[in-house]
Structure 1
Amino acid sequence: MTDQQIIETIAVKVMGWSTKSKQSSFWLDSEGHLRPKRSWNPLQNISDAWQVVEQIEKDGFDVQIYRGQGFTSVEIIESSQGMIIGEYEGGTTQESICHAALRVFAADLTHR
């Protein structure tokens, strides 16, 4: 999966955003606001990655982030049972958040 495909999958599957067409340069967020596609990049921008964490938490999951020297580990936990349902360890916090989210929300949409 390319970085752009990861970003688009997270926008749709995690954030709940949509576009009118594949060629559209804007996302339509859940509140009806337009967001430029080019400016939202949770793989590179920590502020955008925190938006992903906030959305996951709004959906009723817990997110645990552990930082070590040269790596970050992210766990997504099903709140009611305390069970880890997705995790990823990567070089950056943003990368780890995005890949953990993909493992949970892109692989199995029954969680949403």
Structure 2
Amino acid sequence: FCATLLLISLILSPKVTYSFIHLYRMINSLRGQEGGSVTVQCRYDSYYDTSTKYWCKGRERSTCKTVKVSVRDDPFHRVFTMTLNSLEKKDEDWYWCAIERTGVDYGIPLYLAVYN
């Protein structure tokens, strides 16, 4: 059994607009072992303290599907956390830490590789 933790150090901020290409240059990735778990934390700017945070799965943010996992938000430290347990090979994919906002939601991508 193996657990992995990734802290995304990029801050989701309303003051910064990243182009699609720029986001992909800053891709984070992590590896998790089958049967293990991964925990990902994503920081955000104070502007988003009361916004809804979520995780979704898929290559493109605009078409990703919301992941049915527990998302814990800590507004005091401005970080939200998602844990995937009992990893399977089918969990390998792109994931997004995302925040609802007026217009288009904002998100940061990461790739999860699952090994046995």
TM-score of the aligned structures, taking structure 2 as reference length: 0.30
TM-score of the aligned structures, taking structure 1 as reference length: 0.30
Query: Could you say which structure has the higher strand fraction?
Result: 2
